[in-house]
Amino acid sequence: MLIERDGFVGGTSTAGLVTPFMKYWIDDGTSRRPLVAGIFAELNDRMIAAGGMVENGFSPTAFRRVAADLLADAGVTILVQTMITDVLRSGKTLRAVSVHNGVSGRTLSASVFIDTTGDGDLLFLAEAPWKKGDEKTGLLQALTMFFRVGGIVMEDVVQDVARRPGQFFDWSTKKFVPGQIVSVAGYHEVVERAKQRGALADAVQYFFFTSLPASGEGAFNTTNILGLDGSSSVELTRAEISGRRQVTQVVALLKSECSGFQHSYLIETGIQVGVRETRRAVGDYVMTGGDIRSGAKFPDAVARGNYGVDIHGQKDEKSVMEYLREGDYYEVPARALFVQQTENLLTAGRSISSTREGQAALRIQATAAATGEAAGVIASQSLVYNGTVRSVPYASVRGVLSKSGNV
Ligand SMILES: Cc1cc2nc3c(=O)[nH]c(=O)nc-3n(C[C@H](O)[C@H](O)[C@H](O)COP(=O)(O)OP(=O)(O)OC[C@H]3O[C@@H](n4cnc5c(N)ncnc54)[C@H](O)[C@@H]3O)c2cc1C
């Protein structure tokens, strides 16, 4: 059973409108060899078939529908509009979760549980060990309210980039090719001038969007919300309000000052502000920044990735964006999914057992999908061992995951 507090599945990918998949492939110059395949590839294939993808950019509405279809085809019972509010535990065993779904409180028991709430809600409610924030400063990454804009003339935008490269990050798209994603970041002078006259929040550093499959649409990863903790509703309330204020400012500036945006309009903001970092599990293995940088390999590998450490800094904190050498990749061990002090709880996705730096690389969508698939395989195989996840022989987990192409 999949329990979800929103009315649809997908989380940050759909409710948060985070619509480009960051790098999960090795580029050998002529082709891309994916490090994550399996269910994630099925999702991609079905979105392509539905016209919902342009390269690694996807339509959030296509994702919602396709992901629900995949779950239904796999025989998963989905319970949406349902919030997990408590965990019943005896000793090291989780017995049940309490849920609230608008009608009444209910208790749902299971043999094995997977925490993919992003915020580690199950870990927290089960009083399992977790960490939050930078090991020295306690800082958490900045939050961002994504938004979707329509009516963009992409050809004009990329011509502007080609004409005034100093105003943009050098990796911005300079040539429009139909069927290829447009990725543009910068507008440095527009941003600085607007801040000076008070037309833009100080925290915004640049405008950044990637194009979406529908013609003339872009998803903006631009707002920058500082100093708030995404695992607190009180602070999230401030983030939601401040994020939507920033959206209004950016949309007005795009329309009045940026080439290709004269007839643009706001389609929607994320249903929820995007949260990059909150609780991380303390598992049997803790993935570190060193593991990411060195391309660590493990005897119990269940997932792979090659995205580097990417920290969106707070005020007075330097942002970090590192890249692995092309061809390198790291593995994620099963032990990073096993939560200490519990025997039938796994975690995957954003709350995986890691240091702050490790999490800053592992948090991207493809890796979250790969660790989620691995947790699902281990959970299902653990049923013959009463849900004790460490009893599952690694060879049989590897058998399934290597067939799916994830290890
Ligand atoms: C602003 C921003 C930009 C990003 N940019 C990129 C990018 O460009 N490319 C990329 O690949 N990655 C990007 N990421 C990272 C990536 O999107 C996320 O880390 C990833 O999607 C997290 O997936 P998840 O499944 O672990 O958690 P989530 O997507 O957060 O899913 C958790 C789900 O659990 C549900 N839930 C939570 N608590 C409860 C509860 N108590 N009861 C019931 N349901 C609950 C939520 O509603 C949600 O659906 C970005 C993230 C952010 C925030």
Pair (261, 340) in one structural domain: no
Pocket test for ligand 1, best of 117, 223, 240 (most atoms within 8 A of CB): 117
Residues 257 and 319 in one domain: no
Ligand 1 center–CA 259 separation, angstroms? 32
Q: Indicate which residue's Cα is closest to atom 35 of ligand 1.
A: 117
The amino acid that residue 370 corresponds to is A
Mean of pLDDT values over 148-168:
98
18 lines ligand 1 (CB under 6 A): yes
Instruction: Report how many domains make up the chain.
Output: 2
Kindly tell me if the per-residue pLDDT of 104 is higher than 90: no
- DSSP-assigned letter for residue 341: T
Residue 367, pLDDT > 80, answer yes
160 and 220 fall within a common domain:
yes
Residue found by looking up tokens 């028991």 in the block: 109
E strand or H helix that includes residue 210: strand 207-211
Q: Tell me if 5 CB under 6 Å of ligand 1.
A: yes
Q: Please state the pTM of the whole predicted model.
A: 0.97
Check pLDDT > 90 for residue 44.
yes
Domain final residue pick, 237, 253, 269: 269
Closest C-alpha residue for ligand 1 atom 27: 118
Rounded Cα distance, 86 and 273, in Å = 24
Residue 103 has pLDDT above 80, yes or no: no
Ligand 1 contact via 118 beta carbon (within 6 Å): yes
Ligand 1: does its nearest atom lie under 6 Å from the Cβ of 38? no
Amino acid at 233: S
Residue finishing a domain among 269, 290, 312: 269
Statement: residue 392 has pLDDT above 90: yes
Cβ 21 under 6 angstroms from ligand 1: yes
Tokens 């994916």 belong to which residue?
Answer: 34
66: in domain: yes
Q: Is residue 2 part of a domain?
A: yes
Q: Give the percent of the chain with pLDDT over 90.
A: 98
Task: Quote the ligand 1 centre to 189 CA distance (angstroms).
Answer: 32
pLDDT at 383 over 90: yes
**What's the whole-number average pLDDT of the chain?**
97
Question: Is 330 a residue whose pLDDT tops 80?
Answer: yes
Whether residue 66 is found in the same domain as residue 90: yes
Same domain, 180 and 302: no
pLDDT tens figures, 291-300: 999 999 999 9
Q: Are 361 and 310 within 8 A, CB to CB?
A: yes
> Which residue's alpha carbon is nearest to atom 8 within ligand 1?
20
Which sign does the torsion angle of CA 335, 336, 342, 348 carry? negative
Domain boundary among 238, 269, 300: 269
Nearest-atom number in ligand 1 for the CA of 146 is: 1
Q: Does residue 112 fall inside a structural domain?
A: yes
Atom 14 in ligand 1: residue holding the nearest Cα: 364
What is the spatial distance between Cα 247 and Cα 313, in angstroms, rounded to a whole number? 20
- Ligand 1 centre from 218 Cα, in Å? 20
- Residue 15 CA: nearest ligand 1 atom is 49
Centroid of ligand 1 to alpha carbon of 274 (angstroms): 7
What does the pLDDT look like over 227-285, one tens digit per residue? 999 999 999 999 999 999 999 999 999 999 999 999 999 999 999 999 999 999 999 99
As a whole number, mean pLDDT of residues 345-361 equals: 98
Looking at the structure, tell me whether residues 190 and 168 fall in a common domain: yes
Cα 272 from Cα 145, distance rounded (Å) = 7
Predicted confidence (pLDDT) at residue 387 exceeds the cutoff of 90? yes
Q: Is residue 141 part of a domain?
A: no
Q: Where are the alpha helices (DSSP H) in 75-137?
A: 121-125
User: Which atom of ligand 1 sits closest to the CA of residue 122?
Assistant: 41
Above 80 in pLDDT, residue 94? yes
* Domain shared by 302 and 227, yes or no: no
pLDDT of 193:
98
pLDDT in tens, 396-406: 999 999 999 99
Q: How far apart are CA 73 and CA 67, in angstroms?
A: 10
Would you say the CB of residue 347 lies under 6 angstroms from ligand 1? no
Residues 301 and 252 in one domain: no
Domain limits at 301?
1-135+277-407
251 with 149: CB under 8 angstroms? yes
Residues 372 and 281 in one domain: yes
3-class SS of residue 346: strand
83 lines ligand 1 (CB under 6 A): yes
Residue 105 has pLDDT above 90, yes or no: no
**How far is ligand 1, taken at its centre, from the CA of residue 118, in Å?**
6
pLDDT beyond 90 at 101 = no
Average of per-residue pLDDT across 76-98: 97
Q: Give the CATH number for residue 334.
A: 3.50.50
Question: Which atom belonging to ligand 1 lies closest to the Cα atom of 349?
Answer: 26
Per-residue pLDDT tens over the stretch 180-220: 999 999 999 999 999 999 999 999 999 999 999 999 999 99
Kindly state if the Cβ of 280 falls inside 6 Å of ligand 1.
no
Same domain? 229 vs 315? no
Residue carrying the six token digits 């649809």: 8
Pair 294, 374 in one domain? yes
Mean pLDDT for the stretch of residues 136-164: 98
Q: What is the DSSP letter of 12?
A: G
Domain identity same for 253 and 231: yes
Half-sphere CA count of 153, side-chain side, radius 13 A: 11
CA of 67 to the centre of ligand 1 (A): 14
pLDDT at 102: 75
pLDDT, average across residues 127-137: 98
Q: Is the pLDDT of residue 363 over 80?
A: yes
